[in-house]
Amino acid sequence: MDAERISSPVTSRLNAVALAGVLAGVLAGGPAILLLAGCSVGGSTSASRANDELRRRVMALEDQKKTLEQTNAELLAKVSEWSKERGPALPADVLAAMPRCASISISDLGTWLDPADVGKPATSAHVSVSCLDGRGRSMQGVGTLRVEVMVLPAGETIVDSSGGRSAREGATPIRTAKIELGPSALRDAYREGLFGASYVVDLPLEPLAERSAVVLVRASFADAITGATHEATKLVDVH
């Protein structure tokens, strides 16, 4: 009887310690244990869906974490740059290597009318504009981009003696659209693809049934770093 009375508190403590260990294990490896538990319940469809949803959430959180880390690293770099005291001028070779926008270009392959189905009226013009450094390579710029689109009837262009192509004088556009992107919106419009990096702009149009046309694109980029303004014009056959 005395032995039972003595062992009872000891047994209770041991059980409590064991239970605490199990709970700690669950808390430490929660997602993994939940996944295992889900798989063991008869392989039910509901458990499988729950596991898939958990995996999607984990992947989404990992992507969000990576984005936040990159944004934080960039902000730290900016703070470090802004907080430096003014010192001697940068070495000439450093200044020479710093890329700056030297010109802009409008992509033929990156300009078209949407939707792609030519059997449907066009409702927007898709335009790609690139900032180029002094070596003609795509780069990101900081500033304001203005894009104007004029949709001309097919045949409203002329070719000069040098082979250059331009809109016929007095040609009347059947659709026009303009857009302006400030520094923040411009950065959001930056894309990388098979044909290089560029700023992608979509300009809404009134529905246009005639898809055989020529698009005259005019772009202007006001560089906030250098204060320079770069312009480009291009005629693109679209359908």
**Mean pLDDT value across the chain:** 78
Give yes or no for residue 183 having a pLDDT over 70.
yes
Calculate ∠ Cα 196-199-204, nearest 5°: 130
Tell me the C-alpha distance between 13 and 19, whole Å.
10
For the 103-238 domain, the top CATH level (class) is: mainly beta
What is the tens place of the pLDDT at every residue in 67-93? 888 777 777 666 666 656 555 666 878
Predicted local distance difference test score (pLDDT) of residue 27 = 40
Taking the C-alpha atoms of residue 205 and residue 127, their distance in angstroms, rounded to an integer, is 13
Domains of the chain by residue range: 103-238
Given a cut of 80, is residue 162 above it in pLDDT? Answer: no
Per the structure block, which two tokens stand in for 129?
A: 């504009």
Share of the chain above pLDDT 70, in %: 73
Relative orientation angle of helices 30-40 and 2-28, to the nearest 10 degrees: 100
CA distance 186 to 188: 5
* Structure token pair of residue 113: 């009318």
